Structure 1
Amino acid sequence: MTYPLIVLPFVVVTLLVTLATLRRPRFRQRMASSALTALVLVGLTLVFDNLMIAVDLFSYPQEHLSGLKLGLAPIEDFAYPLCAAFLVPALLTLFAPLPSKDTA
């Protein structure tokens, strides 16, 4: 089970960075947008990973996988689009300057 262990740090960092934005403005809107983005990315991953595996463009050694699959695609493949959908907006939020109290 190598791939689940590789994915784990990405998921933990995404969760921590996303939670660090909890008190920033528009958290709920960002989470809703991230969830919608994640849904689209997971859908695309589902379609294209299954197609690429079906035509034998690549394969995974079974001993390195968790064994859970969606179609032909291992569940581990879906962690990266989920992380991207939440981590990128969270990082942008953390690196953006906070609005000054004068403009509020």
Structure 2
Amino acid sequence: MTYPLIVLPFLVVTAVVTLSTLRRRRFRERMASSGLVALVLLGLTLVFDNLMIAVDLFSYPEEHLSGLRLGLAPLEDFAYPLCAAFLVPAVFTLLAPRTPALTSTPPAHQKDTA
């Protein structure tokens, strides 16, 4: 099995779960934050994967890679931080209870009984 095929299910799950939060509150803000986090994580991955590969901490069999690289790091390595940046907030959003809509009448226990 090749690394692009291993990464594909992670990308699909991330896209499906993230899009399932489309109608939740503050989707746009969450996506902007996730995008910023993704840029930071991708930058860190670029630097540290290249360093680790350069000092020969690990290597990849060429026949299992797509062939696309950023420096020494294969492109497939960048899928995991990208998924984490979007999937974690999406799952957190789905697990959080929905806030009820604000009403103009106070709850029964707060009514003034004067």
Deviations 1:34-91 (A, max 9, x none): 0000000000000000000000000000000000000000000000000000000000
User: Is 2:61 aligned against 1:67?
Assistant: no
**Amino acid across the alignment from 1:30:** R
Partner of 1:19: 19
Equivalent position of 1:86 in the other structure: 86
Residue 2, structure 1, aligned to residue 14, structure 2: no
> Structure 1 stretches (4+) deviating beyond 4 angstroms?
none
Report the number of matched residues: 104
RMSD after superposition:
1.3
Amino acid at match of 1:43: G
In the alignment, structure 2 segments of 5+ residues that lack a partner are: 105-114
Structure 1 unmatched runs, 5+: none
**One-letter amino acid of the structure 1 residue matched with residue 81 of structure 2:** P
CA distance in 2, matches of 1:87, 1:30: 11
User: C-alpha distance in 2, partners of 1:66/1:101?
Assistant: 48
Corresponding residue number in structure 1 for 2:39? 39
Give the number of the structure whose residues are more often helix, by fraction: 1
Tell me how far apart the structure 2 counterparts of residues 62 and 27 of structure 1 sit (CA, whole Å).
Answer: 39
Larger relative contact order, structure 1 or 2 (CA cutoff 8 Å, min sep 6): 1
Q: TM-score, normalised by structure 1?
A: 0.97
Q: TM-score, length-normalised on structure 2? A: 0.88
